[in-house]
Structure 1
Amino acid sequence: MIDIPELSVYATLAETFPEPVFRPWLELLPAQLARAFAADRHGDWPRWREVLRRLPPIQPAWVNLNVDAVQLKGRADAAAELALIETLLRELHPWRKGPYDVLGIPIDTEWRSDLKWRRLESAIQPLAGRTVLDVGCGNGYHAWRMIGAGAERVVGIDPTLLSVVQFLAIRHFAGDFPVYVLPVGIDDVPPNLGAFDTVFSMGVLYHRRSPLDHLLELKGCLREGGELVLETLVIEGGAGQVLVPEDRYARMRNVWFIPSCPTLESWLKRCGYRNIRLIDVTPTTAEEQRSTDWMRFQSLPDCLDPANPGLTVEGLPAPRRAVFLAEGS
């Protein structure tokens, strides 16, 4: 599919997704991947590719995808080889989603993504045997947890090339699982594909200029009766209430709409979803999002009012996140 040895994982996509329903996207993917991995697309891609090339070919003794820090256990030939692996993985800074344990090297990511997984794993439809799409998946942490929960196949999409490279580094040590992270966005998925049993969109909706269009895009990815798992920022309030930041929100530029839970429920109904359920609302704390040695930039504590942690530095309500479940029609 693309003639770069470090990207050979993508050569098996057609075999993993042979059903005709996937054909419209599979026909577009070679060009999409070629654009994403073009030498002039990102100035750091040659350096990141060299990191992937230099990772030692260590086969994991075993992989545990059902623990908070996804574990890849194996044996390096010497302490020097383990030190090299850690040095190379640190070249892929910043690590935002995780945590991971790679051959005994703990990757303490900015987000404790395992906490989000705990809030939803028992409420969603069982993933056993399901084909899953994870929109805005970052480096694929949740995709690995989905495979651990029994999903038959998982596709993650994220246009951030560094996140995709981090996934490829993890997969290098994890081995051959039916999980992929593609360097594309939801706009690159053919409309009304109708191919996935479960679609996750976590931490994406508030970054979209048109949230209803995003909900319709997600619905188009679902097969009839499939389940949407939607996680996003929300505000306290009643029906019709939406926060539209004038400029930044918690230092982020690209936050457009933060609805109340009743408003988001009405958006889902307007888009044709059924059996809509709010399963969790949780304020985001520094236990879940913070700077670490693997993500040394500003994080949540730097984005809150030091005199009132209930507000952002802009004076807006501090982050709280909700999880909704819904079925496509």
Structure 2
Amino acid sequence: MIDYTNFYASIQHIPALRPWLAQLPEQIAASLSPERWGDLPDWRAAFDALPDISPSAVELREKVRIGSAADASPEQLQALEKQLRKLHPWRKGPWEIFDLFIDTEWRSDWKWERVLPHLESLENRLVLDVGCGNGYHCWRQFGAGARRVIGIDPSAKYVAQFYALKKYLGWEQPVDLLPLGIEALPPKLHAFDTTFSMGVLYHRRSPMDHLRELRDTLRPGGQLLLETLVIDGEPGDCLVPKDRYAKMRNVWFIPSTATLESWLRKCGFENPRTVDVGTTNLGEQRRTDWMRFESLADFLDPESPDKTAEGHPAPKRAVLVANAP
């Protein structure tokens, strides 16, 4: 299903990434082990059954749109939808593929529109996207001019979704998703021009360690784009949920924006600043035909939707930017 040979060859030409090659193939093989992912054979079978269709055009700058229905026969379009649905749930998107609309749980395009105005130009940049899910934002980063984008996410399901779509977006495109977490990167790599961490920090037991890991991915002066849950509050304020937050077990720390800016400074980042804050609404995160599990409406108190089911403040997300020293 996934052949990283071309990826390995390409990063031979990026001096800062070349040392990673000594361990990368072994890391990837271990992460995609059938012993670890019991459903992996089913995802491979879905990938192998995808029809061969050549898109007449690909759009990545304004949206992710692949070809049109005129590029395929009705039988091919039926087979395409059947196999892509076997990779349920689809959480990040949306994707338009041969006029099939994959209506994902998250309107990730809305997040991208909030983020993009605050980015230094991605033109010709080497980009890392940490915890990228199925790679939706990786393609938007490439569409914005990045010369190469590497996404990392430890979920093999997301990797399967990514490569199912890359089959049509183009194997030759310099955008790849590795089935790894940030801890798999060599320490003090200092390789990337821009690093994204969106929707990851609150899942880390040690937010300071995560921020330092992010800093060490960046070349001197490189830009961090951080998006995460926050609370209203003063410097030093931070919510530490006793048990679950919005029905999620693995939420550890939700700081105020002032606290988060201080954490970034403490971890060595320069000029940390909050550039966007907004409450997540039911139009941006919701259950769809392509993600039929519980979603935001199920995570909130039905009598008081400004609170989670546990009584915490409802999800509010902030975008921060900072630069590596």
Query: What does the per-residue CA deviation read over 1:114-171, in whole Å, with 9 as the maximum and x for residues that have no partner?
Result: 0110001011101000000000000000000000000000000000110010000110
Match of 2:155 in 1: 160
Alignment partner of 1:113 is 2:108: yes
Question: Which residue type is aligned with residue 163 of structure 1?
Answer: Y
In the aligned structure 2, how far is the partner of 1:182 from the partner of 1:291?
A: 27
Match of 2:309 in 1: 313
**Structure 1 residue aligned with 2:10:** 16
1:125 equivalent in alignment to 2:120 = yes
The answer on 1:258 being equivalent to 2:258 is no
Tell me, yes or no, if structure 1 residue 282 matches structure 2 residue 261.
no
Q: 2:285 & 2:22 partners in 1: Cα distance?
A: 38
CA distance in 1 between counterparts of 2:31 and 2:56 reads 33
CA distance in 2: counterparts of 1:153 and 1:191, whole angstroms: 21
Q: Tell me, what secondary structure is at the counterpart of 2:245?
A: coil
Which of 186, 202, 205 is the equivalent residue of 1:206?
202
Could you say which residue in structure 2 is the equivalent of 1:72? 66
- Among 59, 62, 71, the alignment partner of 2:57 is 62
Write the distance in 1 (CA, Å) between the matches of 2:283 and 2:291.
14
Gaps of 5+ in 2: none
Letter of the 2:241 partner, please give it.
Answer: P
Q: Secondary structure at the match of 2:226?
A: strand
1:76 shift after superposition: 4.7
The one-letter amino acid of 1:57's match is: D
- Give the Cα–Cα distance (whole angstroms) in 2 for the partners of residues 38 and 235 of structure 1: 39
Report the TM-score when normalising by structure 1. 0.96
Helix, strand or coil at the partner of 1:200: strand
Q: Mean alpha-carbon deviation: is it higher for 44-53 or for 26-35?
A: 26-35
1:189 Cα shift? 0.6
- TM-superposition CA deviations, 1:283-319 (whole Å, max 9, x none): 0001110000000000001101111111001000000
**Alignment correspondent of 1:34:** 29
* Residues 226-245 of structure 1 deviation map (CA, whole Å, 9 limit, x = unaligned): 00000000000001000000
Partners of 1:126 and 1:19 lie apart in 2 by 20
Q: Percent identity?
A: 54
Q: Which amino acid aligns with 1:287?
A: G
Measure, in 2, the Cα distance between the counterparts of 1:169 and 1:77. Answer: 16
1:294 counterpart residue number? 290
- Match for 2:175 among 162, 174, 179? 179
What code does the residue aligned with 1:16 have? S
Checking the alignment, whether the CA contact within 8 Å between 1:94 and 1:296 is kept in structure 2 is yes
CA–CA distance in structure 2, aligned partners of residues 254 and 38 of structure 1: 24
> Matched residues in 2 for 1:299 and 1:39: separation?
29
Amino acid at match of 1:104: D
Distance in 2, matches of 1:229 and 1:16, equals 25
Corresponding residue for 1:222? 218
Take 2:53 and 2:31, find their aligned partners in 1: how far apart are those partners? 27
| Alignment-mate amino acid for residue 264 of structure 2 | L
**How far apart are 1:67 and its partner, in Å?**
2.6
Q: Distance in 2 between matches of 1:22 and 1:78?
A: 42
Deviation at 1:16, TM superposition (A): 2.2
**What is the aligned length?**
322
Task: Tell me if the contact between 2:133 and 2:153 (Cα under 8 Å) persists in the aligned partners.
Answer: yes
| Aligned amino acid, residue 19 of structure 1 | I
Partners of 1:289 and 1:25 lie apart in 2 by 36
Match of residue 235 from structure 1: 231
Instruction: Answer whether contact 1:65 1:71 (CA < 8 A) is retained.
Output: yes
Matched AA of 2:176: Y
1:248-268: CA deviations, max 9, x gaps? 000000000000011000000
Indicate yes or no: 2:273 matched with 1:270.
no
Partners of 2:111 and 2:72 lie apart in 1 by 36
The Cα of 1:14 is off from its aligned counterpart by 2.8
CA deviations over 1:159-185 (Å, ceiling 9, x no partner): 011001000011011112100010000
Describe the SS at the equivalent of 1:287. coil
Question: Which residue type is aligned with residue 66 of structure 2?
Answer: L
Per-residue deviation at 1:39? 2.3
- Equivalent pair of 1:76/1:82 in contact (CA under 8 Å): no
Q: Deviations over 1:201-221 (max 9, x none)?
A: 000000000000000000000
User: Distance in 2 between the 1:77 and 1:165 partners?
Assistant: 22
